[in-house]
Chain A
């Protein structure tokens, strides 16, 4: 019988009441007295020298308050990078400056050159057209490989080349890996591209800066996944505003997918400009601006090789990847192709030797950073495509080859520095085969053939590392931030509870799930618990939401804080019940004395804490409020097996997804409905990457797919009815709830399943195509069939 409350129940998302009735309060809904509007004049060339900017006519246009250019940011910091990667030779990465407004040069289409602050948006835009701009266009570097040629134009003149870093991992393993390849019975090689994506959250970015002269305080309202991170980065590194004078508020946020983690120029600008003009300044991105200013995702070019012995055991993996950084280093960009990608190259397999090389490259394109999965989808895609190709070359069943090489003993230390605490890859594969009805595939294939369609089955496994931690380790790896989280559990006098959390909900449903945990622990109704998030003046210093970390990290902090509350409440109850503290039990919202019928209610104890007339004041303080910071001992490692069946129309190349199954192991699950929703959304984005989405630049650095006319987002009829299952459960061993992450799994696990299925479909039609690069558009599939 499913539970109807607490952990494991599926109450409907309480936040949806306001979202679905138009009562959400998004950043663009915030309008302040005396507010001005900023319009950014952005570069329309990818690379050029700013010869002159003439704002004189524009300054006299109606409604113009002030026009800012790069010169106004003399002495102001640039946008900081939050992760320093050390290269193969022990040298730090090349780290160019990232000005708020371009200075000297423009480096990508969309690079902001001037900011026009005016009374209305339209006046600001009118004035932008009156700015005289003289830019000497330079040749652009777009392709990563040619960007590293000795005579390539340099994106940053002060750097020695366009190479940000050349990273080897694990460098000490390289010789042994090469040796294994020499001894291998079979080597499978695959070259592929992980296509560049634009995140496209439903809500574009918005920022409102508000300076209060009376108390010298600045407030930034912004569409962020992590307000405290923005406060630290912007306050300390860009604008020099101490934390107690800077408040960052991320109210309702309409989707992030990673691209709202980062600290952006527009946020720093509105905060800075508001202090200059002493009025609020608001910026709302248009969708067109989002395409050329939100950090993009993925964009890797990879060669990967697998060495197998004569019995088809994996001996070694070797990869060579070019990772596009774009024109500047976005906040966490350097970590994505390295520590979030190289550490996942073992996947679900006991390959003993692995070497990963990554060359990160500057190009005249929009900066690239984390996007749902961040490095882990790139690792999974190349590995799972490679294993599939190996099975095809060897003429063995792809599921059997995977099973043969699965890791089965836990904990398992990979050769790429991480230790998986738990997992059961055989169980998820078994479950996937069952829910997908793999045994019925051949019949379905015949039915498709009768309609003139080629049907293919693609399977893959994935392993994810969520809740990146612990802080002392990530510090050694180059992170310039801690990766703990924090929660304050504030029990009110009558027993209701407010939980202030460092995690930020922008679609994940924390307002529903976090109270389920507290309600379970105390035995009160979930309606008695609310969470507070998103306002740096209200919540403890937590690190926000990304990397599927909220429940595993912030949820653990909340549990720790609630445990402290319960410990104190038991002391109070012991006093009220005139019993020993050790005999007090808390169940169903009641404190009782073991072995007796003496009891008191949760509300009696909480009231005593705030009206301490009969209270052990000599032993404990009044009040019932506790904070905990939680720094995990390890990542969590969700895993799963996915399967996709497609039909290919051989006449047109069109792919339709007929069936999709996901068997995930997320450890313990708090709200199954929300977890399933997260998997659905992740798979939709994975299918988007596999079949539809591509940010395409031409050789001049112009983004060709710069609107929805050319950038294909998945629509409802592009995705199938998903069969998802999370009944396989190996709880995480090192966090109090035994939970793993679920937010990114779908986006990680689905692209290889889709592509493997298309390759299989083509093979069934007699076309043995080794690989097709994503997105598998009808045109590309048709070309592959007819090449």
Chain B
């Protein structure tokens, strides 16, 4: 690591002020940023830790909406998001206990790793990303590989998930990292079904709209049977080629539909 200063503000306002400084960088649970620093691939002057901001923590179910503070760890979501079981299950299967005890939902969504789990849940749920100064619809938020609608210095303070009638997340893991080789989140709402795919695309999380249409008409695994996910733009790497990933998108979608509750 290169040398840096650390500040640990107690409020969102203080954090926003700190992030206005020269070469300041927000630090959530550090599950991506700390390894990056250790590799000397980043050299912020100041790390603004968000872990002491109580107003950014916690899980709250209200009516049909589950609101999760941006600084809430995966372990907390797994334990407390019982109003949205598919989301709690997703959180419970991220990484290992150490990762889940440090990593946060805000950190994951701000980083937008193309293989991360949370982006698929946010996109499939039509969630709203709440920041220190605005609300962003998930459909507008994810803008490609490690790219989001966030401006510099903007902090995710909360994420609001409309609770679906049924949902499920199926993750087929990459054997080494156990990130998603392909992960599919299916959420059924009164007004239709949304299907979001992570791990597969060179452009990060995306919606499989053909499957959404088919499932909105008939919410059963059979409805997907006749579809083929396109391999265009999918990732080719050591662990799977684009054709395999395209195949897995369909398999995982079917399994998610079958398991949805």
Contacts and interface: CB of A to CB of B under 8 A. Distances in A.
Contacts of B1: 122
B251 A652 contact: yes
B244 interface: yes
A709 B176 CA distance: 6
A278 interface: no
Interface stretch (A223-231, A320-328, A774-782): A774-782
Nearest to A704: B238
Interface in B230-250: 238-241, 244, 247-248
Interface string B198-241: 00000000000000000000000000000000000000001111
Q: How large is the interface on B (under 10, 10 to 19, 20 to 34, 35 or more residues)?
A: 10 to 19
Contacts of B248: 652
Contacts of B175: 691-692, 712, 777-778
A711 interface: yes
A288 B39 CA distance: 9
A705 B238 contact: yes
B133 interface: no
B251 A710 contact: no
Nearest to B251: A651
A287 B181 CA distance: 24
B176 A711 contact: yes
Contact of B176 (A651, A652, A705, A778): A705
Interface string B246-258: 0110010000000
Given A122-B1, A709-B177, A696 B244 contact: no
A783 B244 CA distance: 8
Interface string B120-148: 00000000000000000000000000000
A708 interface: yes
Contacts of A713: 176
Interface string B1-42: 101000000000000000000000000000000000001100
Interface residues of A, number: 24
B240 A779 contact: yes
A652 B172 contact: yes
Contact of A710 (B39, B40, B238, B240): B238
A712 B240 contact: no
Contacts of B251: 651-652
A18 B247 CA distance: 50
B244 A712 contact: no
Contacts of A691: 175
Contacts of B241: 779
Contacts of B177: 708-710
A654 B172 CA distance: 9
A4 B172 CA distance: 48
Q: Which of B172, B239, B244, B248 has the most CB of A within 10 A?
A: B244
Contact of A779 (B3, B39, B176, B244): B244
Interface in A757-787: 777-779, 782-783
A711 B172 CA distance: 17
A652 B251 CA distance: 8
A694 B238 CA distance: 10
Interface in A684-741: 691-692, 694, 696, 704-705, 708-713
A783 to B, nearest CB: 7
A601 B240 CA distance: 70
B147 to A, nearest CB: 20
B247 A782 contact: yes
A465 B6 CA distance: 57
Nearest to B177: A709
Contacts of A129: 40
B239 A779 contact: yes
Nearest to B240: A779
A710 to B, nearest CB: 5
Contacts of A783: 244
Contacts of B239: 710, 777, 779
A710 B176 contact: yes
Nearest to B96: A715
Contacts of A694: 238
Contacts of A712: 175-176
Contacts of A654: 172
Nearest to A710: B176
Contacts of B3: 122
A704 B244 CA distance: 20
B174 to A, nearest CB: 8
Interface in B158-180: 172, 175-177
28 contacts: A122-B1, A122-B3, A125-B40, A288-B39, A651-B251, A652-B248, A654-B172, A692-B175, A692-B176, A694-B238, A705-B176, A705-B238, A708-B176, A709-B176, A709-B177, A710-B177, A710-B238, A710-B239, A712-B175, A713-B176, A777-B239, A778-B172, A778-B181, A779-B239, A779-B244, A782-B244, A782-B247, A783-B244
Given A696-B238, A713-B176, A778-B181, 11 more contacts: A122-B1, A692-B176, A705-B238, A708-B176, A710-B177, A712-B175, A777-B239, A778-B172, A778-B175, A782-B247, A783-B244
Give 7 closest A-B pairs by Cβ, nearest first. Answer: A712-B176, A712-B175, A779-B240, A709-B177, A651-B251, A710-B176, A779-B244
